[in-house]
Amino acid sequence: MSARPEVVPPQPWAFPEPQRHTLDNGIALLAYDIPGQYVISVRTVLPLPLTVEPRELEGIATITARLLDEGTARHTSEEFAELLERKGIALGAGMSDSGLSVDLDVPKRRLAEALDLLQQALGEAVFPEAEVTRHVRTRLAEIEQERAMAPHRAAREFIATFFDSDDRASRPSAGTTQTVSAITREAIVDFHRRFIGPQGMTVVVAGDLSGVDVTALAGEVLGQWRTEGQEVAEPSTAPPARAADATRIVLVDRPGSVQSELSVGCAGPDRRVEGGWAAYPVLAFVVGGSPNARVDAVLREEKGYTYGIRSGFRPRRRGGLFLTNGSVRADSTVESVKLLLGILDGARDGFSDNEVRSGVDFISKTAPGRFATADAVADEAASLALEGLTTQFTTDNLLAMQSLDSDALVEAYQRWVDGQWTVVIVGDASLYADELKTLSRGDVTVVPN
C-alpha cells in the first residue's frame, strides 16, 4: 500500500444566509437559496406551548394539526389529497412541545400552487366530523402501537418518571387514550380559531430559488391570511419541573422479552444555557455518539451486549434532557446498566484532548454536509424559529465550538450530570428486578406494559 495520505483541513463554514421579509399580516418569511436543490422545502412554524391545551383534551393540538389538510372551505378531504398528490406535494403537520409545524416538499415548478394549498390548509380547514372521528381513532390505534414498541414505551415511562406529574411535560405530547377519546369537532374548531393564525408564525422556504420571487408568491397567498382574535400564548419561561422522586429505576415488565430497552437520563440544558450550547453536541458525541464512543466502546465493541447505544442532549424551549437510549441482550441487563451508569458518571472526571478534538471536528466539519440539502436547511431554520432563534445561532455555535477545551467540556458536563439518574428498563423484569436493587441507584419499581 502507498503511504497514508495527509489530510488538508477544510475552510471555515457558515450556515447559509436567508433573505428576510415580513408579510403584510406579520408572518416572518425566511428564504434560503440553495442552487441545485430542485425540491423546495417549506416549513411553517408557530410557537405554541402545549399548556394551552385543556387538561382533559390533551392531544388536541396534534389532532388539529393532522386535520389541517383533511377538508377545507373549498375542497373535501379526498379532493384536497388529490390536489396535493397530482402536484407532487408531500405535506405533513404535527405538534411538538415548542409548537405547531406544517411541512411541505414540492418540485420547484409547483411552488406557487403548493403555497396556495398550504394557505388553505392553515386558514380554511373545516374539520369534517367524519375526518375528526377517523383521526381520533387513528391516534388511539397509534397509542397502542407505541405501547408495543419498546423505545416508545420507554420514552413514555421516562417522562412520566422524570417530570413532576403536575407538569405537562410528564405526559405524551399527542395525548393519552383518555384525553384523545374526549376530543370533539367542536373543541377542535375552537382550538383552531383561538390559536392558529399568522401572528408569531415563521415560514421558511429553502431550495433552488433562482428565477423565483418567493416574497411575492408567499405574499399573494400566505400574506393575505387574516384571522380574528388569535390568542398568542407566551412560551414558558421556566424548565418543566422534575419529580421529587425522579432518581430511581422503573421496570416496564414484558415477560419473555429477548432484549431490555434502556432509557437513562437526567436534566439537561436548552440552547440558551449559561456557558453556551457549543459543548453539548460535542459531549454527546464523545460519550455516546458513535460505535467507538465511550459507551459503545465497552457495551458494543468490547462486550457485544448491544447493537448500539446513543447519548444526546435534547433541548426544549426551556430546559432539556440528557438521555442515553438503546437495547441490550436480556441476560446482560444488570451488568449493562451498571457499566453504562459507570461510564456516564465517570465522564465527570474529564476528557482527553484527543476526545475533545475529535468531537469538535466531527460536529463542525460535518456541518457543510449535514446542511447541504434544502430539507436539512429548512428543518434547522424552522426548529430554531420555534425556539425564538435564527440560524445565526448555528453559525455562532460552530464558531464557539472551536475554542472548547477539556476544561470547558468537564464544566458543562458537571453542570448537569450529578449521578442522580432516572432509569427506565422495558423488558422481562423477572430476570433482574431483584438484582437491580443491589446497584443502590434508587427504588426499583415494576409497572405493567
Partner 1 sequence: MALDYPIHEKTLANGLRVIVSPDTTVPNVTVNLWVNVGSRHEAPGRTGFAHLFEHLMFQGSRNVASGEHFTRLMAEGGRLNATTWFDRTNYFETVPKGAYELALWMEADRHGYLLDAVNQANLDNQRDVVKEEKRQRYDNVPYGNALIDTYAAVFPPEHPYHHPTIGSMEDLDAASLEDVHAFFRRHYGPNNTVLTLVGDLTPEEGFDAAERYFGELPASAEPRRDNHDQLSPITEPVRFERHDQVPNDRLHMAFRLPVDNTDDYFAASLALDVIGGLTTSRLVQRLVRREQVANAVQAHSMGFVDGVSLGFIVLDIADGQDPDVVESRALEELERFAHEGPTDVEMESALAQAERSWLHSLASQEERADAISQHTLLHGDPQFINTYLDRLTAVTGEQVKAAASTWLRPQNRAVVAHLVATEEEAA
The region of 166-174, 242-250, 356-364, 414-422 touching partner 1 under the rule CB under 8 A is 356-364
Among 20, 26, 38, 346, binds partner 1 (CB under 8 A): 38
Contact 210, 246 (CB under 8 A): no
H or E element that contains 297? helix 294-299
User: How many other C-beta atoms are found inside a 10 Å radius of the C-beta of residue 46?
Assistant: 26
Cell output for 445: 419499581
- By CB under 8 A, residue 54 contacts partner 1: no
Task: State which residue, 128 or 388, has the beta carbon closest to partner 1.
Answer: 128
Contact 243, 170 (CB under 8 A): yes
* Nearest-approach distance from CB 76 to partner 1, in angstroms: 10
- By CB under 8 A, residue 85 contacts partner 1: yes
Draw the binding track, 281-310, toward partner 1 (x: CB under 8 A; -: no contact): ---------xxx----x--xxxxxxxx---
| DSSP codes joined into one string, 216-258 | HHHHHHGGG---SS---PPPPSSPPPBPTT-SSEEEEE-TT-S
- By CB under 8 A, residue 211 contacts partner 1: no
Scanning residues 2 to 21, which ones bind partner 1 (CB under 8 A)?
2, 4-11, 13
Give bridge partners of residue 401 from the DSSP assignment.
Answer: none
* Nearest-approach distance from CB 400 to partner 1, in angstroms: 17
- By CB under 8 A, residue 244 contacts partner 1: no
The region of 18-26, 162-170, 251-259, 411-419 touching partner 1 under the rule CB under 8 A is 251-259
| Secondary structure of 69-99 in HEC code, one letter for each residue | CCCECCCCHHHHHHHHHHCCCEEEEEECCCE
Draw the binding track, 124-163, toward partner 1 (x: CB under 8 A; -: no contact): ----------x--xx--x--xx-xxxx-------------
* Nearest-approach distance from CB 229 to partner 1, in angstroms: 32
Among 185, 272, 329, 338, binds partner 1 (CB under 8 A): 329
* Nearest-approach distance from CB 120 to partner 1, in angstroms: 16
- By CB under 8 A, residue 1 contacts partner 1: yes
Residue with cell 373545516: 126
Number of residues that bind partner 1 (CB under 8 A): 75
Scanning residues 254 to 273, which ones bind partner 1 (CB under 8 A)?
257-259, 261
- By CB under 8 A, residue 358 contacts partner 1: yes
Do strands 422-427 and 99-107 pair parallel, antiparallel, or not at all (unpaired)?
A: unpaired
The region of 74-82, 185-193, 216-224, 228-236 touching partner 1 under the rule CB under 8 A is 74-82
Cell output for 1: 500500500
List phi, psi (to 5°) of 88: 70, 30
Could you list the beta-strand ranges (E) of 83-234. 90-95, 99-107, 202-207
- By CB under 8 A, residue 324 contacts partner 1: no
Task: State which residue, 21 or 152, has the beta carbon closest to partner 1.
Answer: 152
List phi, psi (to 5°) of 303: -95, -25
| DSSP codes joined into one string, 306-320 | EEEEEEEEEE-SS-E
Draw the binding track, 90-119, toward partner 1 (x: CB under 8 A; -: no contact): x--------------xxx-x----------
- By CB under 8 A, residue 35 contacts partner 1: yes
Cell output for 231: 390568542
Strand order in the sheet with 320-329: 306-315, 320-329, 259-268, 422-427, 249-253, 444-448
Among 231, 369, 392, 414, binds partner 1 (CB under 8 A): 369
- By CB under 8 A, residue 350 contacts partner 1: no
Residue 111 DSSP symbol: H
Helices (H) and strands (E) in the chain, counts: 17, 12
* Nearest-approach distance from CB 288 to partner 1, in angstroms: 13
